[in-house]
Amino acid sequence: MDADCSHLSSTPYCEGSSCRPCKTIDNSGCTTTAAPKCTSLPSYSCTACSGDVDCTHLSMTPYCDGSKCQICKTTENTGCDSSSSQPKCITSPNGDNLCVQCATDLDCANSPVGKTCSSNYTCISTALSNANMTLASGSKRDLTVTFSEDLSVLPPECQFFFLEIENLTWPTDFSYTWELKDDHTISVTLEYYGQIEIKKNKLQLLFNSSAIPVSSNFTIPKNLSLTLPNSIPLSAPALSVVKGINTASQVIAGAAVAATAPAIFSSGVFSSLWNFISICQIVNYLLYLLVNWPENALMVFDIFSAASLKFFPNPFQGIIDDIEQLGSMIELPAVFADNGAQGLFISDSGSTVGVWGLVVLFYLLTKASRCIMKNSVGKLSRVIQYFCGNLEWRAVIRSVSSSFLSLALGASLQLYSVSFDNWAVGLSSVLAVLFGYFLLFYIAICCYILYNRPETTKDNNEAFEKKFGPLVEDFKDETKFQRCFIIFVLVRQATFVGFLVGFSDNVAMAQVPLVAINCFVIFLFIILLKPYKERKEMLSNTLNEGIICCLMICALVLLNDQERSHWMSYSDKINLGWVVVAICSLLILINAIFIIYETYQTYRQWFFYAKAWCLKRRNLKGMDSTHKKTSHRVNKFSASIGSSFANTSKLSDRRSQRHPVTQKSLVNETTTVIDLNEMQTKAGHSKDHILNDSNLFQISNNNFDLQGKGFENLKLSSPEPERPGVPLKFVRKTRGTNTFSFRLNQSTK
């Protein structure tokens, strides 16, 4: 009997000749709604209900619904009086069932009060306002909530809503702050505390009707909800540290890139910068790997998004804004949607296409200007000729190679879900198809150009490199693989995007290893082939690809933990994120050093060019003042060389007649010395102001023209005659600071 066990507080019930904590006959001892049923296996304990019979001993909650004893059942509205004002059974946010007036608008169809079910589950006559909650683009903790109602009617600091996150407790596990952006939009920022991992937790925004004054006439929307993407959030102090590192890295990279702007505009070179842009795109796209990166790693990856040129205005922005109004939805892999990708080519690659439009426009303008100024020989004409020659096709090839990765990713995401639901999405799909074919054609045309590369001669190389420089100028030509290394680079980028998008539909065990193999192979190619001419380029690209391989190793470690072993704790994952931050910071620092060094070399060369030009201008001015003094000396010099040349010719003829069989080359030479002491400019007496002797004998087409100086019938070639048979050779030798000599050689056979 139970009386025999009453003195035992933990087992007060007698069943099967033993004192038990509960009785299976009538569930005595189980008094909670979550565990109302007594079971004997494997030991006596209270468990969840499996039917209404398990809840009959609980008079207030006699129905089993969702493994819990409830007031009513939502499936049949059992427990709610159909003739009363609350005939519907619903589950409240805290998990308890309630009898209410309505659950949906259909329940208010016959209501004399109104046809709309409010957030308080009552029928009202006023239509509900519309509200929408989304995550900010590329963020996992910033929310944007928009309302059709005017928020300005609410009192300041009115806490008219609160948030709930599944399996997390406010405020111990998380908190939030919000601010009013405009009269119809609020932004909410989540903050997490402790070692929290988000695994598709459900977030709900619940409206607090009691905080909204009736006099405001604010219509309360329905509660909002969304599923948070997987993330490993940082604490507030760690978040501040990462933001500081990001800011410092952006300043360093921005300063290095900005310093190159004048030189890029004038010449389009700086291979270090173009390599850095390509590497930045690859690092940024590691966001789309199917691994749960820690938040510090995600934040540092976002620094490299500038390489996709998204800071440029998007010419298609107006069309993008209209797409939602046209009612079109683009299917996109979850990993891309969670990290800010839109899936529309005109959105993801619109800025790059806009830059390309500017390049085409600039090319057309220079082409038209060259046609207009075809017969002009001024400085402006030379500048136009330079830019037009640079665009055909040096600058174009460099631009396509640098934007290849971003265009390929944008086209691939659009082609993942080709749609022609309306004209805007159809336009984006058509552009994606066109640019996809263009990129494939670009790889083919590069193969054709390199295959038909002319034989290695000086003239051919200069013409070829001037037109197709970016394909060959950075690479050696000792082996076929070195000459065609640009093809390896383009194929690597194409396969990188293919693996990233093609296996993005929850196939992590295929996507991540394939992308890693892609990175490891190109790194080994660089190590083994050594394709780059300059040591600086070889070192830069080796370090960059080595750093990418280190990041892929981190991704493989996370993948192994995520899919198989589950050995990593929250702290281990955050520490791995700090390793990623350090690696990316090192990448930025290394490339900034290379870019700054190359910028310094370019500007230093410009300085010496400017200095030489200024010196030449000063010498030309000094020439005017000394022209009268030097003209007499030049005439004497010309007469002297003329007579010597005549004597040399006679002597050579005699020797040729004496030795007609041997035909040996005999040389007679005459040397004349000119003193420049009196030809010093009046600007000063330093050696830098010595008169430039090239003004005495004007150079044209690699020849010294001595017309008007006593040699009307002579043309002397310098430094060597171009073809056999030219009888004279003109040689200049320096003899000290203020003198130089000329020697006339005549060869006869």
Q: Looking at residue 381, what is its pLDDT?
A: 73
Burial of 584-622, coded b for 16+ CB within 10 Å and e otherwise, reads bbebbebbbebbbebbeebeeeeeeeeeeeeeeebbeeb
Q: How confident is the model at residue 112 (pLDDT cuts 50, 70, 90)?
A: low
Give the containing element (helix H, strand E) for 222. Answer: none
The band of 558, judged by pLDDT with boundaries at 50, 70 and 90, is very high
Q: How far apart are CA 521 and CA 36, in angstroms?
A: 62
How far apart are the C-alpha atoms of 69 and 55, rounded to whole Å? 6
Report the amino acid identity of residue 722. Answer: E
Bridge partners (DSSP) of residue 143 are 135, 188
pLDDT tens digits along 492-520: 999 999 999 988 887 889 999 999 999 99
The CA distance from 153 to 591, in Å, is 53
Least confident of 8-12, 22-26, 194-198, 396-400: 396-400
Whether the pLDDT of residue 267 is over 50: the answer is yes
pLDDT digits (tens, 9 = 90+) for 596-655: 888 888 788 878 888 888 888 888 776 655 555 555 555 555 555 555 445 544 444 544
DSSP assignment string, 33-75: SSS-EEE-SSSSEEE--SSGGGGTT-TT--EE-SSSEESSBTT
What pairs with residue 674 in β-bridges? Answer: 740
Residue 323 or 672, more confident: 323
Cα(109)–Cα(123) distance, integer angstroms? 9
Half-sphere exposure of 211 (CA within 13 A, CB side): 12
The proportion of the chain whose per-residue pLDDT surpasses 70, expressed as a percent, equals 73
Query: What per-residue string of b and e applies to 388-413 under the rule 16 or more CB within 10 Å gives b?
Result: bebbebbbbbbbbbbbbbbbbbbbbb
Mean pLDDT computed over 572-577: 92
Q: Report the side by side order of strands in the sheet with 699-700.
A: 699-700, 703-704, 716-717
Tally helices (H) and strands (E) across the chain. 17, 23
What six digits make up the tokens of 503? 């296996």
Q: What are the tokens at 657?
A: 């007649």
Who has greater pLDDT, 200 or 724?
Answer: 200
What global pTM score does this model have? 0.62
Distance from chain centroid for Cα 199: 27
| Neighbour count for residue 200 (Cβ, 10 Å) | 9
Q: Is 704 helix (H, G, I), strand (E, B) or coil?
A: strand
Task: For residue range 451-467, list pLDDT tens digits in order.
Answer: 877 765 555 566 677 77
Kindly report, residue by residue over 36-90, the tens digit of the pLDDT: 889 888 788 899 988 888 888 888 888 998 888 999 988 888 888 888 878 889 8
For helices 317-325 and 423-451, the axis angle rounded to 10 degrees is 140
Q: Please say whether the beta carbons of 726 and 714 come within 8 A.
A: no
Which of helix, strand or coil describes residue 225? strand
| Cβ-contact 622, 696 below 8 angstroms | no
Q: Is residue 616 classed as helix, strand or coil in its secondary structure?
A: helix
| Distance between CA atoms of residues 323 and 330, nearest Å | 10
pLDDT tens digit string along 542-555? 999 999 999 999 99
- 235, 192 in Cβ contact below 8 A? yes
> Tell me, which fold does domain 128-227 have in CATH?
Immunoglobulin-like (2.60.40)
How far apart, in whole angstroms, are the C-alpha atoms of residue 420 and residue 416? 13
DSSP helix/strand/coil, 97: strand
> Where do the structural domains in the chain lie, given as residue ranges?
1-68, 128-227, 320-452, 615-748
- Chain mean pLDDT for the chain: 76
CB-based contact 301:283 (threshold 8 Å): yes
Nearest-angstrom CA–CA distance, 284 and 497: 12
Q: What tens digit of pLDDT does each residue of 397-455 get?
A: 777 887 888 888 888 888 887 777 777 778 888 888 998 898 999 899 888 888 877 76
Task: Please tell me the number of Cα atoms within 13 Å of 299 on its side-chain side.
Answer: 24
Could you tell me if 728 and 744 are in contact, meaning their C-beta atoms sit under 8 angstroms apart? Answer: yes
What is the model's pLDDT at position 127? 46
CA 454/CA 471 separation, integer angstroms = 14
User: Rounded to an integer, what is the distance from CA 469 to the centroid of its chain?
Assistant: 24
Q: How many CB atoms lie within 10 A of CB 208?
A: 13
Cross-strand pairs, 669: 745
148-340-139 Cα angle (round to 5): 75
